Amino acid sequence: MYYKPKQAPKVVYTREQALEALQHYCAYQDRCHQEARQKLRELRCFGHEAEEVICDLIAEKYLDDERFARSFARGKFKIKRWGRMKITRELKQRDISAYCIKKGLSEIEEEDYLKTLEDELLRRDRAEKPGLHPYLKRRKLADYMFQRGYESYLTWECINRLEL
């Protein structure tokens, strides 16, 4: 016979408990409104109470989409070495406004961006199998950089300049 363990009953958080939980959640790392709302749903806090919690978090500066966009863009570029297009796409998926996305992308210096693009191309070039046809190799490099979120015109310009 199959034994099904008893599950603890789902706890419904009060407004104050949800606010405290979200304050800790947002203090640990910058969060966007969408992530905060998702966390409230997990805490089973809905409707008017959830909106009040969100308003309190904004008033107390725990939630700020512009700050989130800046830290997100900075982190994804410096750590994961993503391009602007991929960062923009990810921010749009999180319902960040165009203004905040623009502010976030302003964190990426043009000189650093081009240097990172070049470094990634050279690193990927060394990883490619030797003996590939030059056109196929260039295409594979370009496709990799497009996947990483770099603009096509910058990628091709860099490939041509480096003569890969």
Q: Where are the domains of the chain?
A: 15-59, 65-105, 110-162
Where does 12-109 have alpha helices with state H? 15-28, 33-42, 47-59, 65-78, 84-93, 98-105
For residue 12, what pLDDT is reported? 73
- pLDDT, tens digit (0-9, with 9 covering 90-100), for 86-98: 999 999 999 999 9
Q: Output DSSP code: residue 108.
A: S
Six-digit token string for 145:
């950089």
Where does the pLDDT of residue 131 fall: very low under 50, low under 70, confident under 90, or very high at 90 and above? confident
**Helix H or strand E encompassing 137:** helix 134-147
Structural tokens at position 89: 């796409």
Q: How far apart are CA 109 and CA 111, in angstroms?
A: 6
pLDDT for residue 128: 84
**The model's pTM:** 0.85
Buried-exposed string 88-101: b where 16+ CB fall within 10 A, e elsewhere:
bebbeebebeeebb
Condensed to tens digits (0 to 9), the pLDDT of residues 12-38 reads 778 888 999 999 999 999 999 999 999
Contact in structure between 91 and 73 (CB atoms under 8 Å): yes
Q: How confident is the model at residue 69 (pLDDT cuts 50, 70, 90)?
A: very high
Asked whether the predicted pLDDT for residue 113 surpasses 90, the reply is yes
CB-based contacts of 41, cutoff 8 Å, min separation 6: 50
Residue 8 has pLDDT above 60, yes or no: no
pLDDT band at residue 117 under the 50/70/90 scheme: very high
Please determine, for residue 9, whether its predicted confidence score (pLDDT) is greater than 60: no
